Amino acid sequence: MFLNQLGDKDKELFLNLCGHAIMADNVVEPEEMEYLALCCYEMEIPNQLPDISEPLEDILDDIVKYSNFYERKIIVFELIRLFKYDGSYDEGEKTFMQPILNKLEISAETHDILEKLADEYITVYNNICNVLSE
């Protein structure tokens, strides 16, 4: 939804961050790969597997270095959507998210707002899809 607003470097960093997020529970769900393909399409980059060889901390350092606060909020919002794409945002995913929020200087309040907005977005999107498919 907002990924097309990111610069090329931010797109690459977001994709690699998603790779770490997907691998956080050591289980790659088909829904996660589907969402990743949608992200690549929106960012107008080839659908590719993320590079997870770079440590998460280095990716976060680069996001802080290359991204402004607006872009960091986009990255967090879209990461929340990745976690919710399979229908849940569990405690393990929230635990994984915490150091990301800290490093990117996203407050708990902003995270909560973005999470609620992600829920609203998903509901509206699903409602539109249902009406269109009738």
Q: Quick check: 36 and 18 in contact, CB under 8 A?
A: yes
pLDDT by residue (tens digit) across 5-41?
A: 999 999 999 999 999 998 887 778 888 889 899 999 9
Q: Which of 38, 46, 50 is nearest to 14 (CA)?
A: 50
pTM: 0.91
The parent domain of residue 84 ranges over 3-132
87: pLDDT confidence band, cut at 50, 70 and 90? confident
Tally of domains in the chain? 1
Computed from CA positions of residues 123, 128, 133, 134, in that sequence, does the dihedral angle turn out positive or negative?
A: positive
**Chain length of the chain:** 134
36 Cα distance to chain centroid: 9
pLDDT digits (tens, 9 = 90+) for 55-64: 999 999 999 9
With beta carbons less than 8 A apart as the criterion, state whether 29 and 18 touch. no
